[in-house]
Amino acid sequence: MSIASHDTASTPLPHPSSAQDAAAEPGREAPIADWVTIEDLDRDPFPIYARMRAEAPVHWVPAINRYMVVGFDACHEVEQDADRFSADEEGSLMKRSMGHSMLRKDDPEHQIDRASYGSTLRPATIKNVWMEIFAKNHRTWMDHLLAAGPGADFVWDYAAPYTADNLRLIMGFHSATQEDMQRWSQTLINGTGNYADDPEVWAQAERSSAEVDAAIDEMIPYLLRHPDASLLSGLASMPIPMEAIRANLKMTIGGGLNEPRDVLATTVWALLNRPEQLAAVQADPSLWGAAFEESVRWVAPIGMYPRQVTQATVLDGIRLPAGAHLGIVLGAANRDASRWDNAEEYDLLRPKQAHLAFGGGQHFCAGTWIARAQVAQVSLPAVFAELPGLRLAPPEASVDKGWVFRGMTQMPVAW
Ligand code: HEM
């Protein structure tokens, strides 16, 4: 979810040297990773994460004005303990951009919003309703890619419109287009990361927010008359405050589009660079699920999300003061060498092992089944079946980028 960024304004936060209230606790202070820069993270975070993990599971990182939790065990501990590590972070830019959604609430308030999503994203609805719609959307956007011809960009001519169209219908935005979904998603996400307080970024996020509100107001009366399996149709008849409905839907627009798009393109890129693994999955189609899981482990589409410490505590041996802002770095936890052999490599045949790409605890991703269905069950097998000789054209033109969200930003292909 695009929601999961380090989305607070950059006010000074407690850090190790001012951690008076943590002084009585056992454990050691977090190392200060003043060598980490946002530019380096954006280009390639993985060597940085490897160095950080080797030194300590938690670091204070001045460049992002928060602690980065990079060890698998430490990330897992945070996810499982919402009393010590709250999702309701003070100063959240996400709340300003999208409203107060379930993602920034703790139980019991969070659970009310989460339950309001009903059965829309669950396996039975996927099987009975969404699979057919995903297959239809695949056809539309595969035909678009074919018409664009060799040299087309796999991300922008196929993966992005395909996943945006899927999300549009899952959410019930029948009056919108997939382009609207992409624009809303990106501008709302940009708001959640607007540390520079750029007025133009706020203006775009506010415009999208108003457009989403208008689409919701337009669709609710229609869906009350013509109910379907979508989120908005279910919410239309529920006793949930409109404010929460709007915030949750904006968060889901931000969070349900980039990640399926990014895992789809990253998996294709990984396989095209590893012909022996592509041959293995083509020989045994039951491996498409493993190709997907290994992809989200290897490059977590949500690289980091925020939490705030509620009381002075010790996390995997590192002291943290009350109020400290944390970045839970899934992108680093998922390559922890204490958990995976050869963790930096993509290997779809590696032994099955739970990863953290979908988070955990109360906020475990509500869209995991739907992401797997549209990417691993519908799209990946069809892409490789319908584009014989698919290749990166040329390989060096592909670009992978980002750390809070990471994916392919450019991927010209031929077949
Ligand atoms: C590969 C694709 C995806 C990945 C890797 C992913 C990852 C995540 C992660 C890490 C979180 C937890 C963030 C946090 O705790 O701050 C999350 C939450 C969530 N995701 Fe996803 N997501 C994906 C696809 C989707 C899709 C397709 C949808 C909806 C159609 C979706 C809906 C949600 C919702 C509603 C939440 C909030 C759950 C809660 O707060 O209880 N996700 N996702």
Other residues' Cβ atoms within 10 Å of the Cβ of residue 198: 12
Q: Whose CA is nearest to atom 3 of ligand 1?
A: 259
Cβ atoms of 76 and 356 within 8 Å: the answer is yes
Beta strands at 66-69 and 325-328: parallel, antiparallel or unpaired:
parallel
The Å distance, Cα 117 to ligand 1 centre, comes to 13
Question: What whole-number percentage of the chain has pLDDT above 90?
Answer: 89
Residue 161: pLDDT band (50, 70, 90) is very high
The single residue listed with the structure tokens 């899927």 is 166
| 326, β-bridge pairs | 67, 307
State which amino acid sits at residue 100.
H
Question: What whole-number percentage of the chain has pLDDT above 70?
Answer: 94
Other residues' Cβ atoms within 10 Å of the Cβ of residue 377: 17
Q: How far apart are CA 205 and CA 188, in angstroms?
A: 5
What is the dihedral sign for C-alpha 153, 263, 50, 16?
positive
169, two tokens: 């219908």
Instruction: Report the CATH fold assignment for 16-414.
Output: Cytochrome p450 (1.10.630)
| Any ligand 1 atom below 6 A from CB of 328 | no
Q: What is the pLDDT of residues 346-355, one digit of tens each?
A: 999 999 999 9
Please report which helix (H) or strand (E) contains residue 58, including its range: strand 58-61
State which amino acid sits at residue 101.
S
User: What is the reported pTM?
Assistant: 0.94
Residue 20: pLDDT band (50, 70, 90) is very low
Cβ atoms of 359 and 379 within 8 Å: the answer is no
Cα separations in angstroms, 236 against 135, 218, 227, 269, 292: 27, 11, 9, 40, 34
The atom of ligand 1 lying closest to the CA of 257 is 27
pLDDT beyond 50 at 159: yes
| 302, β-bridge pairs | 405
| Any ligand 1 atom below 6 A from CB of 256 | yes
Residue 13: pLDDT band (50, 70, 90) is very low
The Å distance, Cα 90 to ligand 1 centre, comes to 21
For residue 25, the model assigns a pLDDT of 60
pLDDT beyond 50 at 1: no
The Å distance, Cα 70 to ligand 1 centre, comes to 20
The atom of ligand 1 lying closest to the CA of 259 is 2
For residue 326, the model assigns a pLDDT of 97
State which amino acid sits at residue 295.
S
pLDDT beyond 70 at 23: no
Q: How far apart are CA 151 and CA 314, in angstroms?
A: 52
pLDDT beyond 70 at 10: no
Kindly state the average pLDDT of the residues 126-145.
Answer: 98
The atom of ligand 1 lying closest to the CA of 262 is 1
Q: Whose CA is nearest to atom 9 of ligand 1?
A: 358
Q: What is the pLDDT of residues 388-408, one digit of tens each?
A: 999 999 999 999 999 999 999
- Residues 6 or more apart whose Cβ sits within 8 Å of residue 34: 62, 63
For residue 103, the model assigns a pLDDT of 96
The atom of ligand 1 lying closest to the CA of 362 is 41
For residue 239, the model assigns a pLDDT of 85
Q: How far apart are CA 165 and CA 155, in angstroms?
A: 14
Kindly state the average pLDDT of the residues 116-123.
Answer: 96
Residue 144: pLDDT band (50, 70, 90) is very high
Q: How far apart are CA 222 and CA 225, in angstroms?
A: 5
Residue 310: pLDDT band (50, 70, 90) is very high
Pocket test for ligand 1, best of 263, 365, 380 (most atoms within 8 A of CB): 365
Q: How far apart are CA 215 and CA 222, in angstroms?
A: 11
More confident residue, 176 or 7: 176
